Amino acid sequence: MSVGARLVVLILATTPLVGQAQDQSKPTCTNFVFSQQFLKAYPKGAAACREVVEKDGLKWVRFDAKVTDVKGTEVTADFLNAMNAPILTLTFTAPADATLDVGGQHVKFSTLASGQEVSIWAPESRVGFYSAPGALNSGKLKVIKGKAD
C-alpha cells in the first residue's frame, strides 16, 4: 500500500473519533452538574432535564412543565420527565411582564393558563429557576411552594 493510501485510510479511520470527541464536549443532560443544594431541594429534578445549552459561558438546563393551576400571580406547574410523567410540582411567582416559552412563543407570565406547557431553565451549579438561559438578572422565577411526587 502506498504512503498516500495509508494516509487516506488513517484519516478515514480517525474521523469518527474526532466527531465523538467533539460530541462529548457538547453540554448534555448527562454531563450537566446540578448543585448539591439543587439536588437536596429537588431530588428528582435531574430526571426532568430536556436539553442543555451554553449561554455567556454558563450551562443552562431546560425543563418542560405543564401548567396545572393559575391563581392571581401564582402559577403551579408539573415538571415532566422524558416520558412526560409529572415528577415535581412547583408554584412560582414572577413579575407580570416576565415571559416564558410556550411552544416557541414568548408568553407573559401573567397570561399563562392551565394546560399550557412551558420551558423553565436553571443554571449549572446553582439553585434557581429562570425564564430563559442567561436571564440571571431579569427572569428569575420565585418558588413559593414545591413538592416532589
SS3 call for 92: strand
Cα–Cα distance measured from residue 38 to residue 108, given in angstroms and rounded to the nearest whole number? 26
Do residues 140 and 127 lie in contact, with contact meaning Cβ atoms separated by under 8 Å?
no
What's the pLDDT at 8?
Answer: 43
Amino acid at 95: P
Which tens digit of pLDDT belongs to each residue from 33-73? 999 999 999 999 999 999 999 998 999 999 999 999 999 88
Nearest to 58 by CA among 126, 116, 8, 117: 126
Taking the model in full, what pTM does it have?
Answer: 0.79
Measured distance between the N- and C-terminal CA atoms of the chain, rounded to whole angstroms: 63
pLDDT one-digit tens code per residue, 130-141 = 999 988 887 899
